[in-house]
């Protein structure tokens, strides 16, 4: 772990500059607003190790897959989130010497990510040649109110001399991706334009013809008074900007305010993109830094009202949960159904910025309870619009009759993952997409979604499971062979318990959904049957037979579900037996050694117990947790949250708290030594789940809300808000009682410790803590 950041309830604070930590800090201090985002790269030139990153939502590149061999059905490309042209740059020269924190002496360095108001700030003192000291302060943000606008305020004060200070604000199209398979660059620069005080650049992806426009306008002031300085236009290859220079006396402060406009062909006609970029840039510049920031802050206030979790008595835990919630909001706002939640968000290149099953399994529970229903609905519609592509993916692997296999990784519905064992084998992702439909409906009560969209998706998914399942005469059971479960430290196994379990559930739920749609809207039911060419008698008969006769590996002696056939043939060791110097094992062991071991990357069998918890008694949950958690190395960011939730369920609060700290501070403290690559955005939703579903005991069964809170001994009190069927509730928990406060206009019925509670509008109810 790297514990170099200060503890604070609302801020991430780095004091003192260490270049060895810089790439990790670039990730941790990242900014975003759902439409664009950027790593915390310095505005001024920096020649030390850095991962430059400036990203525009929905813009990607199909980088040709690079493998040593090819198999039928293999994806032709791996989608890359593109490092886009850099608009944050402001090079600085002091008496003609470039400011560069890698080469000059730096003192009093402080970097702050203010999560309450959504901005990044830096202060430092740098010593230049001739022992000239300057004090620098910066602030920047990506507007949540004006989502095509970013703003920077950058100030320099000479402390012990008077001299020339030059600013070079620019837009740089000479960018590349660190993870390019063939060291390609991915952009063409179509247009560059510069005038005094402004510059513009329009770029085009070399494939797919995405276009993005960047504009900047700026002003320079001395001690708060605007200056009318000469502005030199500077143009280089794929680089456009200005140069402005003036003499500054000791103790005076020279500031530049740079406003950027960023547009894309997702929202504008390519022919109108330069014009639109100029209009957006003009709008932001005329509005001004202070008014832009004021409106931006108001958006963050509203977001925190509905999603903040307050913890008293544990500043480390408080900082962790707010950090996770903050980055979730920066990544996805739910305003555009074409977008989704990338595993790294706007913080790095790894995983390509694509959509994984993480969205359905982890992010949807967060948005269901903290955002308007249409936010989650848009995530589901995203998958509905990809249904035909999922059917085509199935066809590539030999499936027929409308069988839909949703991709493990996608930008547009096509599979684009570059590891065969994931592409072909990790098919449990289909189940997560089906479960998300169920989860949305039981939380929102929106049965119409099932009628309009959901049933078609469920039929496609169930057809896949029906064809992927085979009947074993040896077992007299249905089996699913050659898979990888959520535990990716296993490949090509037979009868992964979780995969079999969720496959059977999908078939059963789809049959129930068919009956529900038939009752709700017979005409639409007939339309879907015709559209999907559904053979109700034959298909339903097979689905029912699979549900009733699926094989689920089980060990009678231990009375636990087995992760897969043959799991007990492995040498049974515990994670505590491992040499700490070899952790994480994925960075020290060969892949062969990992596959032969019993060690589990993330919740697998326990993932199924978490999803279908109501079907198991407490002793069953305890036995399986006691068997699997000690064998789990938690080397997936998605692992600690599920274990935290189940540990709280079985009363192991110490373990639940340990796992909560791990998931909430995974990136802040860099548990897995990979924060420099970007943050684990989708698992951040799991951190929220650890508190609300874990300690808060929130469950929804049969469209009814249940709470059964517990509290860690480290906390004096905690509180969260959730939305259920459009009703807003606040829950406060301390060592003696639970207070439930209604912010709704309707009476709310729920169960607390299996006791029925009714809360009138704007009223509250107090229940003793068990």
Dihedral over alpha carbons 460, 462, 464, 469 (to 10 degrees): -170
The token duo for 695 is 């300690």
Contact between 712 and 695 under an 8 Å Cβ cutoff? The reply is yes
Whole-number Å distance between alpha carbons of 20 and 12? 18
The token duo for 2 is 């790297």
Whole-number Å distance between alpha carbons of 240 and 233? 8
Chain-centre distance for alpha carbon 15:
27
As a residue count, the chain comes to: 770
198 is known as an active-site residue: no
Angle at 396 between CA 394 and CA 400, to 5 degrees: 50
Whole-number Å distance between alpha carbons of 612 and 644? 16
Contact between 55 and 81 under an 8 Å Cβ cutoff? The reply is yes
**What is the residue-wise DSSP string for 61-101?**
EEEEP--SS--TT--SEEEEE--PPB---EEEEETTEEP-T
Whole-number Å distance between alpha carbons of 651 and 644? 11
* 619-625 LR contacts (CB < 8 Å, sep 24+): 620/559, 621/646, 621/649, 621/650, 622/650, 623/558, 623/559, 623/560, 624/560, 624/561, 625/650, 625/652
Q: Which residues contact 140 (CB under 8 A, 6 or more apart)?
A: 31, 43, 88, 119, 120, 150, 151, 152, 153
Q: Is 290 exposed, middle or buried (0-12, 13-18, 19+ CB in 10 A)?
A: exposed
Contact between 167 and 219 under an 8 Å Cβ cutoff? The reply is no
Whole-number Å distance between alpha carbons of 481 and 460? 20
Q: Is 621 exposed, middle or buried (0-12, 13-18, 19+ CB in 10 A)?
A: middle
Catalytic residue chosen out of the listed positions 349, 360, 488, 635:
488
The token duo for 455 is 């049933």
Cis peptide before 266 (omega within 30 of 0): no
Whole-number Å distance between alpha carbons of 397 and 420? 12
Cite the active site residues: 488
């Amino acid at each position: 772990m790297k514990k170099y950041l200060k503890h604070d309830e609302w801020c991430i604070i780095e004091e003192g500059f260490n270049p060895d930590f810089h790439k990790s800090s670039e990730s941790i201090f990242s900014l975003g607003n759902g439409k664009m985002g950027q790593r915390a790269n310095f505005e001024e030139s920096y020649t030390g190790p850095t991962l430059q990153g400036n990203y525009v939502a929905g813009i990607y590149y199909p980088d040709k897959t690079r493998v040593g061999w090819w198999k039928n059905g293999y994806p032709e490309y791996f989608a890359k989130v593109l490092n886009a042209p850099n608009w944050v740059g402001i090079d600085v020269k002091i008496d003609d010497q470039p400011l560069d924190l890698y080469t000059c002496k730096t003192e009093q360095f402080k970097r702050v990510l203010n999560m309450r108001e959504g901005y990044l700030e830096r202060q430092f003192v740098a010593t230049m040649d001739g022992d000239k000291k300057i004090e620098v302060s910066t602030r920047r943000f990506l507007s949540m109110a004006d989502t095509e606008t970013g703003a920077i305020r950058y100030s320099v004060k000479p402390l012990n001399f008077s001299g020339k200070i030059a600013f070079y604000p620019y837009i740089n199209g000479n960018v590349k991706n660190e993870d390019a398979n063939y060291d390609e660059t991915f952009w063409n620069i179509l247009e560059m334009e510069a005038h005094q005080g402004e510059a513009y650049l329009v770029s085009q992806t070399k494939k797919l013809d995405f276009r993005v426009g960047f504009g900047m306008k700026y002003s320079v002031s001395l001690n708060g008074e605007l200056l009318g300085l000469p502005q030199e236009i500077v143009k280089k290859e794929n680089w456009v900007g200005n140069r402005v220079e003036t003499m500054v006396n000791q103790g005076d402060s020279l500031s530049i305010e740079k406003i950027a406009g960023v547009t894309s062909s997702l929202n504008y006609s390519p022919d109108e993109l330069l014009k639109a970029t100029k209009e957006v840039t003009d709008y932001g510049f005329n509005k001004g830094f202070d008014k832009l920031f004021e409106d931006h802050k108001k958006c963050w206030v509203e977001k925190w009202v509905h999603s903040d979790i307050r913890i008293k008595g544990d500043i480390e835990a408080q900082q962790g949960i707010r950090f996770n919630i903050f980055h979730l909001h920066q990544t996805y706002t739910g305003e555009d159904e074409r977008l989704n939640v990338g595993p790294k968000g706007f913080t790095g290149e790894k995983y390509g910025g694509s959509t994984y099953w993480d969205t359905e399994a982890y992010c949807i529970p967060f948005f269901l309870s903290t955002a308007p229903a249409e936010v989650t609905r848009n995530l589901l519609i995203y998958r509905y619009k990809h249904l035909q592509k999922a059917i085509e993916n199935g066809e590539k692997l030999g499936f027929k009759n409308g069988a839909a296999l949703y991709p493990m990784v996608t930008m547009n519905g096509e599979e684009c993952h570059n590891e065969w064992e994931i592409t072909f084998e990790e098919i449990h992702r289909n189940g997560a997409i089906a479960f998300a439909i169920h989860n949305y409906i039981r939380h929102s009560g929106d049965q119409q979604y099932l009628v309009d969209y959901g049933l078609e998706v469920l039929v496609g998914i169930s057809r896949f499971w029906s064809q992927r399942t085979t009947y074993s005469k040896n077992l007299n059971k249905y089996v699913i062979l050659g898979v990888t479960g959520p535990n990716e430290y296993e490949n090509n196994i037979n009868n992964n318990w979780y995969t079999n379990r969720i496959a059977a559930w999908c078939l059963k739920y789809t049959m129930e959904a068919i009956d529900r749609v038939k009752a709700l809207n017979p005409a639409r039911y007939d339309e879907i049957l015709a559209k999907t060419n559904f053979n109700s008698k034959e298909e339903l008969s097979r689905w029912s037979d699979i549900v009733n006769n699926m094989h689920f590996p089980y060990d009678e002696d231990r009375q636990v579900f087995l992760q897969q056939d043959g799991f007990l043939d492995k040498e049974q060791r515990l994670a505590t037996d491992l040499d700490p110097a070899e952790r994480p094992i994925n960075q020290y062991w060969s892949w062969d050694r990992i596959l032969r071991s019993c060690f589990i990357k993330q919740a697998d069998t326990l993932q199924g117990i978490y999803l279908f918890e109501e079907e198991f008694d407490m002793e069953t949950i305890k036995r399986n947790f006691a068997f699997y958690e000690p064998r789990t190395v938690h080397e997936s960011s998605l692992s600690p949250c599920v274990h935290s939730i189940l540990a709280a369920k079985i009363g192991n609060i110490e373990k639940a708290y340990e796992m909560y700290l791990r998931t909430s501070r995974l990136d802040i403290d860099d548990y897995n030594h990979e924060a420099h690559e970007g943050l684990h955005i989708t698992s951040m939703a799991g951190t929220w789940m650890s508190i609300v579903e874990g300690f808060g005991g929130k469950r929804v069964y049969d469209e009814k809300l249940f709470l059964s809170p517990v509290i860690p001994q480290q906390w004096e009190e905690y509180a969260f808000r959730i939305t259920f069927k459009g009703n807003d509730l606040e829950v406060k928990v301390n060592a003696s009682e639970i207070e439930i406060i209604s912010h709704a206009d309707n009476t709310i019925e729920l169960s607390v410790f299996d006791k029925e509670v009714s809360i009138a509008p704007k009223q509250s109810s107090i229940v003793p803590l068990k």
